[in-house]
Chain A
Amino acid sequence: MRIQLLLAWRYLWGRKQRMVLTTLAVVFGVTLLFGLNAMIPAMMESFRYNMVTTAGKVDISISSESNNPFDQSALNDLSEINGISQYTGILTKNVVLPESLGGSVNKLTGASAVTVTGVDIATAQKVRNYSLNEGRFLEVNDTYATVIPQLLADKMELKTGDTFVIPSSEGVAKLKVVGILSLSAAAGLDEIFVPLPVAQTILNLPEKINTIDILIKSGVNRDKVVSSILSKLGPNFKSGAIQTGEELSSALLMGESMMWLFGIMALAMAGFIIFNTFRTVVAERRRDLGMLRAIGASKHTIMGLIMVESLIQGIIGTGLGLVCGYLFCLGLLSGVGNIFAGLLRVTIGTPVITSANLIGSILLGVGFTVVSGYFPARSAMKVTPLEAMRPTLAIVEYRQNNRRAIWGLILLTLSVLGLVFGDVKIAGVSGVIFLVGIILIAPVLVKPVAVFFGKLISSIYPREGRLAQGNLTRQPSRAAITASSMMIGLAICIALMAMITSIEHGFMSYLDKSLGTDYLLMPPSLVLGGGNLGANQGLIERIKSIDGVKEATSLRLATSQVDGSTLQLIGVDPLVYPKIAGLEFSEGNSDKAFKAMSKGSAIIVNGVFAITNRVKPGDILALKSPHGVKNYTVVGIGFDYLNAKIATGYISQSDMARDFNSESDLLLLVNRKPEFTAEEVTPALQSVIKDFPTFSLIDSNSFKTEQMGMFKMAMSVFYLMVIMLAVPGLIAMANTMSINVIERTREIGMLRAVGATQTQVKRMVFAESVLLSALGTTMGILVGLFLSYLLVKAISVIGFKTDFYFPTMGIIASMVVGLVFGIIAAMVPARQAANTVIVEALQYE
């Protein structure tokens, strides 16, 4: 091992430029992998901190299976159960604090939301311990009184006797602070305690609770008590705290798998670079390796030498990648943080390093490097001692690549056929097959592409162009591998840009359709779940009564479960909603669907839910509700702008009130009478809103502009990643060009000796590099178009009806990137080649 380490290190050190370029590729891959994946847990953690409540320190928490509030009469059933010591019913929900009420997204200095917990004053203190810093706990005669934690008191500058104003379904609730708790809740938000009836009013959930906290008698088996409670309460209840924010968590988890994919793609490109480098290394050191074999190095010693070299690069690259990844994540989070703060009123913290991410990044970083070094190492093992006796010659590849090309052609044909089937899974496989096909066929493409683009270059620099063309085509495999790495980068760029363009067009049309009214009364967070507090009927009635308002309708929210998966329910008025807004239908039609909905027990589901649960119109869904399982008939597949990403079902508001106890309006859509101007209607609306500070009045045009801005901001992060993915392609090219120059030192010396000028040598290297990038770009565009078509198709299939838009901008950008990369990659090697000292070069071994 010592000899391998010594030689590996010395060889690496002896070729610093190449080592840096190869290692950089690994650094880059690990940076993306580690950095992006440190971002998601940070977002999740912040999200949890801001949104998710905890059960506190009780023995058992009982909530409804569908996470909805339930009748507080359920408490009566518990009195007969053995093993229970104490129990109390609570109603708890996150409430976002609007800025007008002192809310702040900075979680260190302010509170963006509070958890309002209504407690039964008679029993609460028997179950949980409320230790106070000052004042007292709630008493039986208290009405609008609250006990708040010290941390919140500090942040909001509140003391006992002060009034704490929070949003309420009636507008606002003015709570008198009667006590300050010494500790905040175990985790999560600042939890404030109010009498249960007050909470029920604030949250517009009369006679409802959503959790029962239970203490059991000592020495009693907890599981037995839980099962007897559940059997008493029935199948609609579960043990455990209520879970909020599941929808966003699952969206973030989906993001996480995207991040892994990005990172692995970047590492795969790094793999190409390493493979290419070590293949050249083996060819270059053929004589050294032969000599080592001759003087007694075993085959495995030789293989170990190359493997150790790749391992060293893997370790260094991965180590640096972890550091860079952390910094990259910090940078990204500060960018994304603004979007989150604006969109969801959630503050993002620092990168969170999970052991899975750390171990995964290390294993993949080092693993990809070692695996990429393995195949060249195996061919190094086959170098015979006789190689030591042969003089060095520049390597020229005479091997025919025809067989591989035929396989490539077969795969390309299969992948195109795969598209015809129309099945998204087959199409996905087609994408991979297409990529492999292009990589296999690439060496054969080298010559025609080089000849075609070579002609263009020759028209400007005839002599250098021809030489460059010859140089590139003498080793088609190496050129093809370099181009493949660039191809992957560019193809992903094109595909993602096409996807973004298509989604942008699609979203604008959904936006028009679902939120196209004159006014929107928006909750603080655009994700409807996440801590928004609705208004009772009072708000919409007042709005309808305004002169100049033609019509108004609202969206309501509840949660259910179908076969174990969560389904967000949106309650709409089937008579008014389709008139002033509407859903984008991919199956079924609007008229029939809403007509069916008005008859009751009918549901329209969105594509995300339909795909994951294989649901089609006509199916019956068994929705878990606080009143047991309710059957709903699927009458269409469609979605609105806000709920496109989350598994959602649309039911009528009367069904929602009956089955899911939800009667609060979360979002209101309002249309003006045509004969009235905005100046006449807006002030009247604003005066109503004043009493409901949770809501903000937005006219749809400025909302659309704001949404587009938001969308573009979110996409800019995406674009950044896309650009980052193209960079390994540049490294690959720079690497190959520097290898080419080093390998041809003697030839370049000869060219200089027979009269080539420095400029001519430089031009030759530049021309070769541009030809190489032309090859990569051509392949990238082909694969990119194919992948983009697949991606857009896949998006449509999973329920976002999206039309394919030709990625003209993506293609133009790729061509520019290709040309620029070609020139940048050749800069250092071209200078090196031009500065070759003729005598030294002619003696170069």
Chain B
Amino acid sequence: MATIEVKNLSKVYGSGETKVTALDAVNLIIEQGQFVAVMGPSGCGKSTLLHLIGGLDRPTSGSVFIEGSDISKMSDNSLTELRRRKMGFIFQFFNLIPVLDAIENTALPLILDGVKPELARSKASEWLNRNRLDGRGKHRPDELSGGQQQRVAISRAMVSDPVIILADEPTGNLDSRSGDEIAATLRKIVTDWKRTVLMVTHDPRIAAYADRIIFLKDGKVVDDTLLNGSNGDNAKRLKEKVESL
């Protein structure tokens, strides 16, 4: 059973003259433990695909299966529970709560799930340590650098032990060094912690950390490539591919 399976997935915004097809009958299977990057030009539908897989939005037609369950037919409550327990989200703008410290931000999904606060805090601290944020637990977001904030966000995504991590341009708001650090961390999530990662990015250098690249154009999958070789070579190949598309 695939971790993620997308069947004939379409999303149309607006109607009549303003109708825009963001996704057009996309089919996709992603197995457990894969690091998949979605690339493509602006407006190709890559974020829409991520939103639909993450249950943040409803498809116009088609289905999304997460570990065999069709989430397109789920109620809002079931979807909320699914996101809380099986998915972790990493956003381009980090989206940390400014009034909470790093530990409290990280522990949020567990607290929302009713886990006892002491246990939630200790798990949050563990994940912060794994992401090299030891000693930063009491810091509020405005006291952390962009890279550190994104590592708090990654810790928050991992703390509830999800099956899938969905990352929307996770390095889009960072300098290249911090971006590399984040990409390496995502790699680690797959290699060391055996989770499935689906990442949307427009940066070939970051996408080169993935195992598989899906190219979208005008809402359709136009290329699906498995990567081999070194990061540098992969990045170069991807850059050429992006330019050719």
Contact = CB atoms under 8 A, between A and B. Distances in A.
Interface in A1-28: 2-3, 6-7, 10-11, 13-14
Contacts of B99: 7, 10-11, 13-14
Interface stretch (B25-33, B51-59, B188-196, B210-218): B51-59
A294 B100 contact: no
B47 interface: yes
A595 to B, nearest CB: 82
B51 A386 contact: yes
A546 B80 CA distance: 98
A317 interface: no
A3 B56 contact: no
Nearest to B77: A298
A294 B111 CA distance: 14
Interface residues of A, number: 28
Contacts of A388: 89, 91, 95
Contact of B95 (A2, A14, A287, A297): A287
Interface string B44-85: 000100010010110000000000000000001100110111
A387 to B, nearest CB: 10
A401 interface: no
A291 B95 contact: yes
Contacts of A288: 95, 97-98
B112 A297 contact: yes
B168 A295 contact: no
B83 A296 contact: yes
A3 B47 contact: no
B91 A291 contact: yes
B170 to A, nearest CB: 12
Nearest to B156: A295
A841 to B, nearest CB: 14
A683 interface: no
B117 interface: yes
B140 to A, nearest CB: 9
Contacts of B100: 6-7, 10
A564 interface: no
B113 interface: yes
Nearest to B91: A388
Contact of A292 (B88, B108, B160): B108
Given A389-B51, A389-B168, A293 B98 contact: no
Interface in B100-117: 100, 104, 108-109, 111-113, 117
A385 interface: yes
Contacts of B117: 2
Given A288-B95, A385-B56, A386-B56, A295 B47 contact: no
A46 interface: no
Interface residues of B, number: 33
A291 B91 CA distance: 9
A299 B76 contact: yes
Nearest to B173: A391
Chain A residues touching B, majority SS: helix
Contacts of B83: 294-296, 385
Contacts of B157: 295
A389 B91 contact: yes
A6 B103 CA distance: 13
Nearest to A12: B99
A707 interface: no
A295 B109 contact: yes
Interface in A279-329: 287-288, 290-299, 301
A54 interface: no
Contacts of A299: 76, 80
Nearest to B160: A296
Given A7-B99, A11-B99, A299-B76, A294 B56 contact: yes
Given A293-B80, A296-B83, A386-B56, A3 B93 contact: no
A334 to B, nearest CB: 44
B147 to A, nearest CB: 15
Contacts, number: 83
Contacts of A3: 108, 111-112
A296 B81 CA distance: 6
A7 B80 contact: no
Contacts of B92: 389
Given A2-B117, A13-B99, A288-B95, A295 B57 contact: no
A72 interface: no
Contacts of A384: 56-57
B103 to A, nearest CB: 12
Given A11-B99, A14-B99, A301-B112, A296 B85 contact: yes
Contacts of A295: 83-84, 88-89, 108-109, 112, 156-157
Contacts of B108: 3, 292, 295
A386 B157 CA distance: 16
Contacts of B76: 299
B34 to A, nearest CB: 22
Contact of B93 (A2, A10, A287): A287
Contact of B80 (A6, A11, A296, A389): A296
A2 B97 CA distance: 16
A290 B83 CA distance: 13
A14 B91 CA distance: 23
Contacts of A292: 97, 108, 112
Most chain B beta-carbon neighbours within 10 Å: one of A6, A11, A291, A301: A291
Given A11-B99, A14-B98, A391-B93, A298 B80 contact: yes
A707 B47 CA distance: 79
A281 to B, nearest CB: 12
Interface string A362-394: 000000000000000000000011101101000
A295 B160 CA distance: 10
Contacts of B113: 296
A291 B94 CA distance: 9
A18 to B, nearest CB: 13
Contacts of B111: 2-3, 6
A294 B54 contact: yes
Contacts of A301: 112
The 10 A-B residue pairs with the shortest CB-CB distance, nearest first, are A296-B84, A10-B99, A291-B95, A14-B99, A385-B56, A3-B111, A296-B83, A295-B109, A298-B80, A294-B89
28 contacts: A2-B117, A3-B111, A3-B112, A6-B100, A6-B111, A10-B97, A10-B99, A11-B99, A14-B98, A14-B99, A288-B95, A288-B98, A291-B91, A294-B56, A295-B89, A295-B109, A295-B112, A295-B156, A296-B160, A297-B84, A297-B112, A298-B80, A299-B80, A301-B112, A385-B56, A385-B83, A386-B56, A388-B89
Interface of A: 2-3, 6-7, 10-11, 13-14, 287-288, 290-299, 301, 384-386, 388-389, 391, 845
Interface of B: 47, 51, 54, 56-57, 76-77, 80-81, 83-85, 88-89, 91-93, 95, 97-100, 104, 108-109, 111-113, 117, 156-157, 160, 168
